[in-house]
Amino acid sequence: MIIVPLGVASATPTATRHLPSVALWREGDVHLFDCGENAQMRMLQAGLKRSKIENIFITHFDVDHFSGIIGLLSTLQLQRRDKSLKIIGPKGVKEYVEWNLNFANVDLNFEISFVEVEEGFEEERVVDEDEYYVEARPLNHSTFCIGYRFQEKDKPGKVDAEKAEAMGITEDAQYKALKAGEDVELEDGTIVKSYDIVGHPRPGDSFAYVTDTKYCPNAVKLAMNTNILYHEATFSESLADKAVETGHSTSADAARVANEAQTKLLVIGHFSARYTNPFVLLREARDKFFPAWLATELRPIFTNPSQEKGIVQQKVYIKEANDKSGGGGGKSKKRSRKSDSSKKRFRKRKSSSSDRKKRSRSSSSSSERKRRRPERSRKNDNNDNQGSSRPPKHITPRTPFDNFDRF
């Protein structure tokens, strides 16, 4: 199971954060939790196929959480999807989608089946497939809001093939029966017990998606013993009053849920635009729970890195967490490239050993974008030269994240 945050902003997008959406990749299928504006673009950039979407789960009707759904459906239509799609959400999601498609005169090639949850419900299994199910519970927000838990069903234990053969099992059907927990009677009348051959069932992976809520017991129930809990942390402790007032959580609330639910990994997201540096939130969460991570858009989170690494490969550059020279916005990217190239020049002049040169060369990756770097830096140098005759235009320095307090 791989979790890919597609948008980690709250109500308004920023230059580097998109509206809420999280993709879950499992065995080639994609399950989308919330579908903020741009979710379909972020999927493309994350290297996730939109045609592979099986289910879309909507938590509530704050516009930032579902504004991308019509655009996504239109894309699926243009891609000539014929596989049916499931949309799960609060009551009204069917009406919203159908009205919009009617309004735009879109006659879908594929079928959408809706699962609507009404206010006042306590717990519901909204999806139930052979290998997994999804449980929904109400959260505590200013509007009716649902949290989800995606749970893989336990996988059958491993079959000890050597032992089975030694005991006289030869046919596939017999193996199947043993795997299903049934005992098999051989022709000579001996009975081979399933528990002799098949090991303990392996517990399935689980993921809880809890966003737009104050602290609430249902969040804990959804997250109980999960592999990954994605919890909103809109505010820091200093704005705890505002969090309660608007029906959101602080990072400490997220950590509290993680602690009570004994989740294996807490991932916080849904950051208020005021936090140009969300590490403040991470620090507060980590004070109370570990391991906790910041949700980083397009950076996959694995339940089993040894098997899953490389399956989902993003198509765009991701800013490194420790890259202080900037990332996100175009301008800051340019700046970071420039500083990189000047570093290289400095090294060349100073380095005495060929070893060092090699290291600096090997550190430059072969990706296309980076190959273009020298061109760009030359362009920058030219600008600098012009600057010597004419004072350069003042550009407000950018922090790694767009500073929204300035506007």
Cα–Cα distance for residue pair 234/86, rounded to 1 Å: 29
Which residue from 135, 152, 205, 212 is in contact with Zn ion, where contact means CB under 5 A? Answer: 212
Binding mask 168-207 for Zn ion (x = CB under 5 A): ----------------------------------------
Q: How many residues bind Zn ion (CB under 5 A)?
A: 1
Whichever of 132 and 235 has its CB closer to Zn ion, that residue is 235
142-151 per-residue burial string, b: 16 or more CB within 10 A, e: under 16:
eebbbbbbbb
Whichever of 152 and 232 has its CB closer to Zn ion, that residue is 232
Q: What are phi and psi of 250, to 5 degrees?
A: -95, 170
The stretches of 113-248 forming alpha helices (DSSP H) are 161-166, 172-179, 194-197, 217-223, 240-246
Cα–Cα nearest to 24, from 111, 151, 137, 123:
151
Residues 345-364 contacting Zn ion, CB under 5 A: none
Residues in the chain: 407
Binding segment for Zn ion (CB under 5 A), chosen from 24-32, 212-220, 326-334, 395-403, is 212-220
Q: Closest residue to Zn ion, Cβ-based?
A: 212
The residues with which 399 forms a beta bridge, in sequence order, are none
Task: Give the amino acid at 51.
Answer: S
Whichever of 2 and 9 has its CB closer to Zn ion, that residue is 9
Q: Is position 64 annotated as part of the catalytic site?
A: yes
| Closest distance to Zn ion from the beta carbon of 271 (Å) | 11
The residues with which 55 forms a beta bridge, in sequence order, are 31, 86
292 Cα distance to chain centroid: 14
85 Cα distance to chain centroid: 20
| Closest distance to Zn ion from the beta carbon of 26 (Å) | 25
Neighbouring C-beta atoms of residue 157, cutoff 10 Å: 16
Residues 62-91 contacting Zn ion, CB under 5 A: none
Whichever of 205 and 212 has its CB closer to Zn ion, that residue is 212
Binding mask 264-303 for Zn ion (x = CB under 5 A): ----------------------------------------
Based on the shown chain and the rule CB under 5 A, indicate whether residue 402 belongs to the binding site for Zn ion.
Answer: no
Binding segment for Zn ion (CB under 5 A), chosen from 84-92, 209-217, 254-262, 330-338, is 209-217
Provide DSSP, 23-41.
EEEETTEEEEE---TTHHH
Catalytic annotation, pick one of 34, 62, 64, 212: 64
| Interaction site with Zn ion (CB under 5 A) | 212
- Active-site residue list: 64
